[in-house]
Amino acid sequence: MDKPVMEVAIVGAGLGGLALAAGLHSRGIQAHVFEKSPNLIADTATAVSLGPNASRALDGIIVGLSAAIKSVASLTKTTKATLCGSRNGAGDKTLVTSYGKDELYVVKWRSARSILASRVPARYIHCSHVLLDYFLDDQSVALRFQCGGEATIIRAKFVVGADGINSAVRRAMYPADRPRDLHLINWNALVHNPGRFSVHDRDQIALIRSGPSLCYLVDAGEDYTLWVFRVEDRSTAKESSGGFCDESGKARVLEEIDKLLGSSPAWEPLKIAVEATEAGQIFQRRIKDRIPLESWSNLDQRVVLMGDAAHAMHWGPAQGARTAFEDAHQLCELLSPALAAGNPEDLKRAVMR
């Protein structure tokens, strides 16, 4: 027997997809979320900083959502940036920037995801569903998933692709389009650090830079320190989504730091943090972005992209999660009345806006 056609299917239970699902449910729209991971506890050792635009968007999605996320985040007041100049640190320049009234919070990606997931009824979140592609028929969008060892088709009237930088929804919409490699390799880790070592002030981001090499260390809340380190890498190694390092991966990170320490002692705090990190907690990936699209929806407005699937960007400006929340907020506001009215033309107009 054919499965019933659902109203809304969201592909990807990351920050954007869950924020949208939470907002739609709070407005009485029953949106289903399909996630490729077997559960929502998987981690990528990342924390994200959230500025005022993220807080505004989160509270637009559900009043009080930003306070819930801030309750497990750390408040950051300043950034201390050290720009390495010449040998032995003699030419290093240090600049401290204060955020003033513009609050900046840092939260573990996984903690933010748990809080968002807790706002969506569990029966609407379907893990172990890997989207392969979709096709359109008169009545619905048919989503083809790999689910365990089997392929299954789920039909929805409206689909949101929130499946991140390697989006399968985007690939089905624009088959030739691929993420762009920015020739940078990045390592990051969250180290449980209840007073074990001190490499930054509690409410300060410590940033160190030398040409394309950059690191930052910051309190990520819940007694965790986040370190992020990247260097230029022009190799053509194929590495699509990254993963946790083994001992040789950790040795490579320390080797890269030692090269930088040869020109400035400013890199010492990073070395302390990396040495205190178990190899299996260091996540390695290449930095990629997406070339802007002319449209984030398909031609008849039944499939729309959001978050990294729509506009993945270099994470230097720290706006990826923030703009995913802004997308979720706008989609909640525009789609909810159109979905509640059940008029396909209203929905198309909402997507166009």
Q: List contacts with ligand FAD (CB under 6 A).
A: 11-17, 34-37, 46, 48-49, 109, 129-131, 162-164, 168, 188, 228, 307-309, 315, 318-322, 324
DSSP 8-state secondary structure symbol assigned to residue 4? P
In whole angstroms, the minimum distance from the beta carbon of 248 to ligand FAD comes to 21
Contact residues for 233 (Cβ-Cβ < 8 A; gap 6+): 183, 184, 185, 286
DSSP 8-state secondary structure symbol assigned to residue 301? S
In whole angstroms, the minimum distance from the beta carbon of 264 to ligand FAD comes to 23
**CB nearer ligand FAD, residue 27 or residue 110:** 110
In whole angstroms, the minimum distance from the beta carbon of 51 to ligand FAD comes to 8
Q: Distances from the Cα of 257 to the Cαs of 209, 266, 273, 279, in angstroms?
A: 12, 11, 11, 15
Distance CA 289, CA 271 (A): 28
In whole angstroms, the minimum distance from the beta carbon of 91 to ligand FAD comes to 28
Dihedrals φ, ψ of 71, to 5°?
A: -65, -20
In whole angstroms, the minimum distance from the beta carbon of 46 to ligand FAD comes to 5
In whole angstroms, the minimum distance from the beta carbon of 186 to ligand FAD comes to 6
**CB nearer ligand FAD, residue 37 or residue 78:** 37
**CB nearer ligand FAD, residue 179 or residue 269:** 179
Long-range Cβ contact pairs of 90-99 (< 8 A, separation 24 or more)? 92/264, 92/266
Q: How deeply is 150 buried, as exposed, middle or buried, from its count of CB atoms within 10 A (0-12, 13-18, 19+)?
A: exposed
Nearest to 70 by CA among 216, 220, 188: 220
Which residue minimizes CB distance to ligand FAD? 14
**CB nearer ligand FAD, residue 88 or residue 240:** 240
**CB nearer ligand FAD, residue 125 or residue 263:** 125
**CB nearer ligand FAD, residue 156 or residue 318:** 318
Give the amino acid at 185: I
